[in-house]
Structures are given as C-alpha cells and as structure tokens.
C-alpha cells in the first residue's frame, strides 16, 4: 500500500498587490473574500495597509480594533487573538492599525523582518490558519516591508490593474519585486492572476487597455473583468461588501464571477497535480 503523507490542510494564501494607489486592491480583497465565503469557503482577510480601508469597509473602525495586524507582525499576539468575525458567515478579518506605518523603521535591525507574517501564520502548523480555505492579504500601495512580508507569506500574488492609460506602467517594477522575493525568500511564490478593474464600457480607452493587457500578459489575465460600478464605491460607507449591500448590482455579479473563476482555476490545478 502506498503511504500517502498526511499533510495538514493549509489555506491558499493570496497577496493582493500593486504599488499603484487606487487600483482596486481593497475593493477586490473585500468582495472576492465575500464572494468566496458565499461559495462556502472559509475566508480570512488580513488588512496590511495602515490606511485600514478594508477594516473600515467591513465595519471595523479605529476605536474597535484591539488586536491587529501590527500585533501579528511584531509577534506580540498569536493569529488566533487577532481574528475577528465579520457579519457575513464564513468571513473573518485581521484588522489594520495605523501603527503599521512605522514598521519599516521599527524592524530595520531584524535580518528576518520579511518573514514576520509567514512566521505568524505558521503555515501548516497553526490551527488558527488551517481552519481557513483562503487567506487574502490586502497590501498597501507601496513595495515596502508590508508588501514584501505578504509576498513572502503567500502562495501567490493577485494583481488588480485599473483600465486606464498608464495601466501597464509600474507593472515591470512589481514583477521585478515578485521575482526578487521568489529568488531570495519564497521560491514557491506564483502569479495568481491579473485582474482588470474599473472597466468603463462607454469608454473606448477601457477596451483598448484591456486588449493591450491581454496581448502582453496572456493567460495570466482573468476572463472576468470588474466594471466601474458606483455601488462598489458606496458599499464601504455602509460597512458591507457590495454582495450584501446591493446583491444584484453589476459589481456584485462581477465579483461572484471572479470567485467562480478563482475556484475553477484551483480546481483545475489540483486535478492536474493529482
Ligand atoms: P490604495 O492603493 O489606496 O490602497 P486600492 O488599490 O486598495 O487603493 P480601492 O480602495 O479598492 O483601491 O479603490 C480605490 C477607489 O475606487 C475607492 O474609492 C473605491 O471605492 C473605488 N473603486 C474601486 N473599484 C471600483 C469599481 N470597480 N467601480 C467603481 N469604483 C471603484
Ligand atoms: Mg487599499
């Protein structure tokens, strides 16, 4: 009989990164997370941005945040204590703290500062993390130590790209950072996918940019495109994902479709590896 090694169930950890500001990282973290939870996946979102937009967007305001991603990265609290349940079933959050902004200098003397999040998640060993199917890491608009920690702890990187004229500009810098992390810190880091966001179908430029991105990046680009949709920008002020704020809006439908595509890609990958 073949002895199959019993590897503990570990979640898929995905970093949502792009050093460009305002491209849809946080909107995608919240709504892809909510859409995966709707599909009965157990989802943990970790807000690594000192701006804390994912936290506020889910109704966790500065004053309510006790144990945060800052405690996680300074190794002063275990993951279990940092997790809070969101209103939606299956969705959990580690909130951000403004203190994260000082972490770059605080950790300057630690030669292993890039591995902090990976250690805190204790991949495969920490019971707190193994109860999730997906962990989504919302990165700040920078390639700083927070983003590098996310890429070091992650299985893959999902890159939201806004459908605008300069969409591809800056992407080479991001891809170079991913490569450096692969070479020095996390050889298994993969590209999860590139997501076109804020697509405006009344604007020819959006269609041209989408075509250009697909020509350059091929199959890495998701079939699903996120349209520009006002409901997506309103939802955070109602402390809810768009999927509950306006469940039939174009934004909600697009993120549901994206979740299905993500699940399908993983299903296909695990079948190919079987
Ligand atoms: P930052 O770099 O500052 O962290 P980000 O990449 O996380 O930004 P978001 O905060 O998700 O970007 O989005 C930027 C702004 O655009 C927000 O006000 C958000 O509500 C809005 N927005 C995001 N996606 C869409 C969309 N598809 N349609 C309309 N508005 C959107
Ligand atoms: Mg953000």
CB half-sphere exposure, 205, CA atoms < 13 A: 7
Q: How buried is 126 (Cβ within 10 angstroms: 0-12 exposed, 13-18 middle, 19+ buried)?
A: middle
- Residue with the nearest Cα to atom 21 of ligand 1? 233
- In ligand 1, the atom with minimum distance to the C-alpha of 141 is 2
Centre of ligand 1 from the C-alpha of residue 88, in Å: 21
Question: Does an H or E element contain 210, and which?
Answer: helix 204-217
Pocket test for ligand 1, best of 18, 24, 33 (most atoms within 8 A of CB): 24
Pocket test for ligand 1, best of 26, 231, 235 (most atoms within 8 A of CB): 26
- In ligand 1, the atom with minimum distance to the C-alpha of 199 is 27
Identify whether the C-beta of residue 148 lies closer than 8 Å to the C-beta of residue 177: yes
Using CA atoms, how far apart are residues 43 and 45, in angstroms rounded to an integer?
7
Question: Tokens standing for 260?
Answer: 């299905």
The one-digit pLDDT tens for each residue of the chain (274 residues) are 444 444 445 899 999 999 999 999 999 999 999 999 999 999 999 999 999 999 999 999 988 788 999 999 999 999 999 999 999 999 999 999 999 999 999 999 999 999 999 999 986 556 789 899 999 999 999 999 999 999 999 999 999 999 988 888 889 899 999 999 999 999 999 999 999 999 999 999 999 999 999 999 999 999 999 999 999 999 999 999 999 999 999 999 999 999 999 999 988 666 665 4
Q: Which residues contact 263 (CB under 8 A, 6 or more apart)?
A: 36, 39, 41
């Amino acid at each position: 009989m073949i002895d199959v090694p019993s590897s503990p169930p570990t979640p898929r950890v995905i970093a949502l990164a792009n050093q460009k500001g305002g491209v849809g990282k946080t909107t995608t973290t919240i709504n892809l997370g909510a859409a995966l939870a709707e599909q009965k996946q157990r989802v943990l979102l970790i807000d690594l941005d000192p701006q804390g937009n994912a936290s506020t967007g889910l109704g966790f305001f500065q004053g309510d945040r006790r144990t945060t991603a800052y405690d996680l990265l300074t190794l002063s609290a275990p993951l279990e204590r940092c997790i809070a349940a969101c209103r939606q079933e299956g969705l959990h959050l580690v909130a951000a703290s403004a203190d994260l902004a000082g972490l770059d200098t605080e950790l300057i003397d630690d030669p292993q500062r890039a591995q902090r999040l990976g250690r805190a998640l204790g991949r495969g060993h920490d019971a707190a993390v193994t109860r999730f199917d997906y962990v989504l890491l919302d990165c700040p608009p920078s390639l700083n130590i927070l983003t590098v920690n996310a890429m070091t702890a992650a299985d893959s990187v999902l890159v939201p790209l806004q459908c605008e004229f300069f969409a591809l500009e800056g992407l080479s810098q991001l891809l170079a950072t991913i490569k450096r992390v692969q070479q020095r810190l996390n050889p298994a880091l993969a590209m999860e996918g590139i997501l076109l966001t804020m697509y405006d179908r009344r604007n020819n430029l959006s269609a041209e940019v989408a075509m250009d991105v697909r020509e350059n990046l091929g199959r890495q680009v998701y079939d699903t495109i996120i349209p520009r949709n006002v409901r997506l920008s309103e939802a955070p002020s109602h402390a809810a994902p768009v999927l509950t704020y306006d469940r039939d809006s174009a934004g909600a439908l697009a993120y549901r479709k994206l979740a299905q595509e993500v699940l399908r890609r993983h299903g296909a990958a695990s079948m190919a590896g079987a």
